[in-house]
Amino acid sequence: MAELLMGGCTTSSDHLYVHPRPRLVDAEIRAARDIGFRFHATRGSMTRSVEDGGLPPRSVTQTEDEVLADSERLIGAYHDPGPGALVRVALAPCSPFSVTRSLMTATAELAERHDVRLHTHLAEDHDEDTYCLETYGCRPVEYFEETGWMSDRSWVAHCIYPNDAELRRLAAAGVGVAHCPSSNMLIGGGTARVREMRELGLPVGIGCDGSASTDHASLWMETRAALLLGRYRGGPGAMTARDALDIATRGSARCLGRDDELGHLRPGACADLVVWDLHEVALAGALSDPVEAWLRCGPARAWTTVVGGRILVDRGEPRLPGLVEALRVHGAVARAMQGRST
């Protein structure tokens, strides 16, 4: 969360779907509250292990009853539906190939009952097409629709391989897409058709993904990557810096269902603000468009990050009293894990 703040992010979600021990989502929410970060915690899940025809090992799967009970608990304990909320809860089975059909359906029904959002991975690679056809007799987007997820309370990660008709159905339903350009490029598995999605009206936001595939949490870096990848894929007219900025701000807010109060600066919106610092050497000669300069003449860092009216990054440094100790503990845990793996 500190790294996200330093990269210009004031609001984030986390798709936590590996639960080797209980109440890990609670720990994330406590950290967000301690910091003052605006956080959408997602209760992820995996129920279908390798032995059941899925992909994850049994050690990281749970039963459907465990998942649904904990989802209910988290919503009751933490979800704040009010304006300006710092903590909200969404429900997020990992993917079509890691949970059962019954859990996908029950999760959609639970979200409808409590009016919370839904998140999952969708259409990320061709193997997913094969799996869904063999297991469910349909393609991933069709399965997504059959299980009750095709609605404007859903946003999905990646969404690289829907066909044209599926894209139109997703757009008509108002499903959002988290575009993860750096992760897509590092893994080498394709990337979302962002230009076409936006032309159809899909909400498209930015995802930094996680340390397993990007090793950074800078919204600025990810937004610049979206600009470059969009132009590489579609030509010079396919993406401008202002398009990328819109995706990172208003598009991301739409994915979270909060475009009335996040992603823009105007009366009535949340008091979230980032002031950027670019060195005068980098900006030399950049006179025509400050937004183009901001993304094209980098690197840039967040000089000041404000969330809910509180300054959390000042002069490029996080104002988080517990950060030094957290980094010490984090380093010790990382070294211990490295030692076990070698």
pTM, entire model? 0.96
Helix (H) or strand (E) holding 14: strand 11-16
Rounded average pLDDT over 92-114: 96
Q: Return the pLDDT at 98.
A: 94
Domains and CATH numbers, the chain: 2-318 (3.20.20.140)
Distance separating alpha carbons of residues 90 and 81, to the nearest angstrom? 11
Local confidence band at 96 (pLDDT 50, 70, 90 cut-offs): confident
Q: Give tens-digit pLDDT for 202-256.
A: 999 999 998 778 888 999 999 999 999 999 999 999 999 999 999 999 999 999 9
Q: Cis ω on the peptide bond leading into residue 181 (within 30° of 0)? A: no
Rounded average pLDDT over 183-206: 95
Distance separating alpha carbons of residues 275 and 255, to the nearest angstrom? 23
Q: Give tens-digit pLDDT for 48-92.
A: 999 988 888 898 899 999 999 999 999 999 999 999 999 999 999
Distance separating alpha carbons of residues 239 and 246, to the nearest angstrom? 11
> What's the first-to-final CA gap in the chain, in angstroms?
28
Q: Which amino acid is at 84?
A: G
Rounded average pLDDT over 25-50: 97
Distances (CA, A) of 287 to 242, 259, 282, 284, 293: 16, 31, 12, 8, 8
Return mean pLDDT, the chain: 95
Closest CA to 120 of 139, 138, 136, 141: 141
Is the predicted pLDDT of residue 128 greater than 90, yes or no? yes
